[in-house]
Amino acid sequence: MLNIKNEVLVRVYLVAAGVLFAAFMIFGRLYQLSVVQAARWEAKADSLYLKWVDVYADRGNILADDGSLLATSLPFFDVHFDVKAEGITDEVFNRDVDSLAWLLSTYIDQQYTPGAYKEWLENLRRADPTTRGIRYVPIAKNLSFKKMLLVKSFPLFRLGRYKGGLIVEQRSKRERPFKILAQRTIGYVREGALPVGLEGAYDNVLGGSLGKQLMLRVPGDVYIPVNDLAEIEPRSGDDLVTTLDINIQDAAENALIRACETHDADHGCAIVMEVKTGAIRAIANIGRTPEGWWETYNYAVGERVEPGSMFKLASFMALLEDGHIRDFDKKVPVYKGKYRFYNEDLVDAHPHGLDSMTVREVFAQSSNVGTATLIHKYYGDNRRAAAFVERLKSFGLDKATEIEVGGEELPVLKSPNDPDTEWSGTTLPWMSIGYELLITPLQLLTFYNAVANDGRMMKPYLVQRVDHYGETQRSFKPTVINRAIASKSTIKKAQELLESVVLEGTASNIRSKYVRLAGKTGTAQLNYHKFTSENGIRHQAGFAGYFPADDPYYSCIVVISEPKRGGYHGSEAAAPVFREIADKCFAIKSELQKPFNFGEKPRLAANKLPSYDAGKRSDLEESIDWLELPLYGKTTSDFEWAVLRAENETIQVLKRTIPDKTIPSVIGMGLKDAIYLLENRGCRVRVQGVGKVRQQSVAAGTKITKNTPITLYLN
């Protein structure tokens, strides 16, 4: 019996020990979870219901030079309703539901009646809390700020987030007030697309820094903001102040669109640059779309093209800089406009039948044969051809402009020393007239701008400063790329050649009566084979230059691709756009207009000076001083009334005697002075005409009687 009892006790003890051990392990685990690892598991529990969400900052504006908005972010609001908000009691809900339903029907969605809205709200209120969506019911989307404030004033909603269940979420929508104006240059940043233009290049500046908003998960796997305000406020983006001039941009864009429509072109671009600084004042890109003309691509920056005859300026400057031509009146053979280089014929664009032209005429009339034969004569072999290419590089024609917006590629210049380029016997003559090389319109304009700027090459730029709430954070100053791309004599002669194109050459049709122009036309064949004629050939028209020619302020390039009617040459399609832009700039920019009193004052003839005008001496002398007219020998005599006499380019102020008892002479006086003198002497005055008194009906010196009638004839 004793052994059995001992065995039972052992088993009881073992079971008790096991129970105690299990209890110890459970309590130990509970202590670990609730005390040691409490923070970890609390955070994990919260993460199932709460999470931090990025809050995007207000994006900065993009502004024109004068502060006009080119791109801005407008706030729009989405409104939701938390029907089961903790603070909404049945009493409050039933009190306000009728009014709320009527207002929602009237101002938010009129396709639903107030009764339908009330029924919908009551069903939401009665629904099981686990029903999908009742904590985050959409009320309205894309509301303006004014409409959002109206919704916040509705019954129940006016009680706020917790007592009224109103949830307001703000979104920003990027808007361009001027629509197509500089659209591609301004650009965009979109999800799933490469960033474009200034928006893309300065995304980190415009975008600001993110904030944080705590969101709560509610039934239906929907997250709603815990608070109306972000816990970590985002920093709004900075503003970009560009160099663009709204008026010049508008003029360039409208002129370009009209030209593309008139000539039924595929696309075109125009750039206006400030000569002294390199600031881009306008950059227009127009392309054909099924919906009409639009800025679909930045051709000015991103499209490398063969520039055609616009490149001849570089060829002639190389000849000038290397001393191969000095006299513009020297005759050059042009072989009646056709010459064969190896096995290819080179022809002039316009048949002329001339055997020779002067150097000036070759450039002004854009002779392909004259230009190519000159270049071939002085740079014909590979060694000298390499020197010609190096000279072009010294002009900066092999470099990118590094403009702020993306998409620019390096120019392509062939070289006989580069085994990777396809150099042949015909490459040099064709390169001299703008073929077998690639360059963007902006890169070519930078070269022309340097010529206008007396040889100093400026870096083109689009952004002049970064502001934050009106305070400048960073400024961008004009940058000199090359202080002198060529000698002063070469630049001066190049300027002379460019002006001759407008005065007597291919662009004589755009001579303006307002402003002197200088530039070069260019017509390139796009699908050529060494100028071999073929059906369906496509062209590109261009013009590059600057204005005013005598004191350059703006440079400009216009390129129109594939004009199909109304002429395809540069002088017909592109040059008129250049002139229209120049005329508009002259009209709107006072700095282009010389003051009327600029320069030496002209010598005044006596018949152009005021003579025999009469009146009060003090008034006459004040007027003469204000007009800065030459006054001869101011008299020190004291008299009140005077008459002017012009003599020997000067004016004399002489005394006019005004008697008390006889009719005075009022000839030459204004009406006010004449009536004052006559009526004070008892005369009855009648007047005919306007102007100054040229005749009086009663002669001066006649004795005055009471109410003497007198008629004054004014002219």
Q: Are 514 and 651 members of one domain?
A: no
Q: How far is CA 346 from CA 111, 258, 357, 569, in A?
A: 73, 33, 17, 17
List beta partners, residue 457.
482
The H or E element spanning position 28 is: helix 2-31
Q: Are residues 622 and 677 in the same domain?
A: yes
Query: What's the CATH number where 331 sits?
Result: 3.40.710.10
Name the nearest CA neighbour of 277 among 459, 446, 63. Answer: 459
Count of beta carbons in the 10 Å neighbourhood of residue 482: 16
Same domain, 580 and 631: no
* Integer Cα distance of 450 and 439 in angstroms: 16
Domain end point (choices 590, 616, 647): 590
395: which residues sit within 8 A by CB, 6+ positions away? 314, 317, 318, 447, 450, 485, 486
Which runs of consecutive H residues, i.e. helices, occur in 632-703? 671-679
The CATH number for 195's domain is 3.90.1310.10
Residue 35 lies in a domain: no
Distance (Å) of CA 664 to CA 645, 672, 684, 696, 703: 19, 15, 14, 10, 10
pLDDT at 530: 44
Q: The tokens of 331 are what?
A: 């005759």
Q: Taking residues 113-138, what's their average pLDDT?
A: 75
Q: Are 442 and 271 in contact (CB under 8 A)?
A: yes
Comparing 399-408, 441-450, 660-669, which segment has the lowest mean pLDDT? 660-669
Residue 487 in domain: yes
- The per-residue pLDDT for range 508-541, each reduced to its tens digit, is 999 988 899 999 999 998 876 544 444 568 899 9
CA distance 72 to 54: 21
Distance of CA 612 to the CA centre of its chain: 56
Q: pLDDT at position 133, please?
A: 43
pLDDT at 529: 54
Omega cis (within 30) before 478: no
Residues 76 and 115 in one domain: yes
The verdict on residue 289 lying in a domain is yes
Same-domain check for residues 640 and 542: no
Euclidean distance between CA atoms 25 and 197, whole angstroms: 66
Identify the CA nearest to 545 among candidates 588, 503, 506, 499.
Answer: 499
Q: What is the pLDDT of residue 639?
A: 82
- Band of the pLDDT at 565, cuts 50, 70, 90? very high
Kindly give, in sequence order, each residue whose CB lies less than 8 Å from that of residue 624, ignoring residues fewer than 6 positions away.
631, 644, 651, 653
Q: What is the Cα–Cα distance from 397 to 317, expressed in whole angstroms?
A: 12
CB 523 within 8 A of CB 496: no
pLDDT band for position 233 (cuts 50, 70, 90): low
C-alpha span between 15 and 5 (Å, rounded): 15
Q: Report percent pLDDT > 70 for the chain.
A: 86
Q: Is 669 left (phi over 0), alpha (psi -120 to 50) or beta?
A: beta
Q: How many helices (H) and strands (E) does the chain have?
A: 21, 30
Q: What are the start-end ranges of the H helices in 571-670?
A: 575-588, 617-627
Band of residue 575 on the pLDDT scale cut at 50, 70, 90: very high
Q: Which of 34-43, 129-138, 423-432 has the lowest mean pLDDT?
A: 129-138
Q: Are residues 571 and 658 in the same domain?
A: no
The answer to whether position 24 is within a domain reads: no
Domain boundary among 196, 214, 242: 242
Answer yes or no: is 13 within a domain.
Answer: no
Nearest to 156 by CA among 92, 245, 91, 214: 92
Chain centre to alpha carbon of residue 282? 5
pLDDT one-digit tens code per residue, 613-671:
888 888 888 887 887 777 765 666 778 888 887 776 677 788 888 888 888 888 888 88
- The DSSP call for residue 36 is I
Residue 136 phi, psi dihedral angles, 5° rounding: -150, 65
Q: What is the mean pLDDT of residues 136-151?
A: 87
pLDDT (tens digit per residue) in 495-514: 999 999 999 999 999 998 88
Nearest CA among 96, 90, 97 for reference residue 115: 97
Strands, E assignment, 64-152: 69-81, 137-143
For 555-571, the DSSP string reads EEEEEEE---SS--SII
Residues 120, 255, single domain; the answer is no
Which stretches within 322-440 are classed as H helix?
Answer: 359-364, 368-379, 382-394, 427-432
Total domains in the chain come to 3
> Quick one: 362 and 502 in the same domain?
yes
**Taking a C-beta distance cutoff of 8 angstroms, is the pair 549, 365 a contact?**
no
Q: What percent of the chain is modeled with pLDDT above 90?
A: 41
* Beta strand pairing call for 684-688 and 709-714: parallel
What values do phi and psi take at 133, rounded to 5? Answer: 90, -5
> What is the C-alpha separation between 366 and 433, in angstroms, rounded?
9
Is residue 422 situated within a structural domain? yes
Other Cβ atoms within 10 Å of 406 Cβ, number: 16
Residue 697 lies in domain: 606-714
Q: What is the mean pLDDT of residues 385-395?
A: 95
Within a domain: 596: no
Q: What are the φ and ψ backbone dihedral angles of 101, each rounded to 5 degrees?
A: -60, -40
User: In terms of pLDDT, which residue wins out, 710 or 482?
Assistant: 482
At which of 590, 615, 634 does a domain end? 590
pLDDT tens-digit profile of 62-106?
A: 999 998 989 888 888 888 888 877 788 888 888 988 988 899 888
Residues 6+ apart with CB under 8 A from 378: 319, 322, 324, 384
Q: Which two tokens stand for residue 560?
A: 């129109």
579 and 667 both lie in a single domain: no
- The total of other beta-carbon atoms located within 10 Å of residue 160's CB is 14
Residue 536, pLDDT score:
66
Residues 114, 190, single domain; the answer is yes
Q: What is the DSSP letter of 237?
A: P
E strand or H helix at 527, and its extent?
none
SS3 176: coil
Strand partners, 75: 172
Residue bearing tokens 């369906």: 536
Whether residue 6 lies inside any domain: the answer is no
The closest alpha carbon to 566, from 320, 266, 260, 294, belongs to 260
pLDDT of 677 > 70? The answer is yes
Q: Are residues 258 and 212 in the same domain?
A: no
- 622 in the same domain as 575: no
Mapped onto helix, strand or coil, the DSSP state of residue 159 is helix
Q: What is the dihedral of CA 248, 254, 258, 260, to 10 degrees?
A: 80
